[in-house]
Amino acid sequence: DSGVTQTPKHLITATGQRVTLRCSPRSGDLSVYWYQQSLDQGLQFLIQYYNGEERAKGNILERFSAQQFPDLHSELNLSSLELGDSALYFCASSVGYPGKDTQYFGPGTRLTVL
Amino acid sequence: LAKTTQPISMDSYEGQEVNITCSHNNIATNDYITWYQQFPSQGPRFIIQGYKTKVTNEVASLFIPADRKSSTLSLPRVSLSDTAVYYCLVGAQGSSNTGKLIFGQGTTLQVKP
């Protein structure tokens, strides 16, 4: 158990819908990262937040957005969902920024878009 | 971030030592080398990190030659539960780095009985 929690574990929805994935970092960690893992793309970095502020963007689509709240939990919002958005979405957290420190990954949310 | 190259797959048997080598010819001065392990449908798990020479912890050793253009993850006496994908990552550390991890294709290690 990494100490990072993600909800829900599974999510099944239809194309065009919007969903919200939630992540609670380890106690004391200020940085939260979101990654997407699909079969044909591997693990892709999406976005990073540090203490409530966006720090880095990766291959995140405009239909996707995220935020980190004052209590440091984070949400990833996916809208206008397409079949290709079906993937595992991982959240990771670390103590600080910059990131020499270890990232701890959550168990992931499996999103299925039908 | 430096690009890494590692074997796509490896096979081993229980009780053997496994060495997975990662090539990172364009590694920069500030780059650290980090290895993660991932089981199916689980998040990656940190194994070990190093900058130069040798690092050892309770699960693995990491060997880094003087030129740092490659590194070798060594898993002693593997068991069936070590069957997983192993990722080698190289990233710059410092005030300008965000800490985002760039994963390559990883090495799928299959341990056989």
pLDDT at A100: 56
Average pLDDT over residues B72-97: 82
Three-class secondary structure of residue B73 per DSSP? strand
CA-to-CA dists, residue A75 to A25, A34, A50, A68, A81, angstroms: 11, 9, 13, 7, 16
Contact check, Cβ <8 Å, A108/B93: no
Tokens, residue A55: 């720090």
Contacting residues of B for A48, CB less than 8 Å apart: 98-100
- How many degrees, rounded to 5, is the angle at CA A72 between CA A69 and CA A76? 60
pLDDT in tens, A17-43: 999 999 999 999 999 999 999 987 788
Distance (Å, rounded) from C-alpha A23 to C-alpha B52?
A: 34
Most B CBs within 10 Å, among A46, A49, A105, to test the B interface? A105
Contact check, Cβ <8 Å, B93/A58: no
Average pLDDT over residues B66-72: 95
Tokens, residue A91: 């959240």
Q: How confident is the model at residue B96 (pLDDT cuts 50, 70, 90)?
A: very low
Distance (Å, rounded) from C-alpha B84 to C-alpha B70?
A: 21
Write out residues 14-73 of B within 8 Å (CB-CB) of A: 32, 41-46, 49
**HSE-CB for A18 with a 13 A CA cutoff:** 8
Q: Which residue has the tokens 């081993």?
A: B12
Average pLDDT over residues B39-50: 91
**Do A19 and A6 meet the contact criterion of CB atoms below 8 Å apart?**
no
Q: How far is B48 from chain A (nearest CA, A)?
A: 9
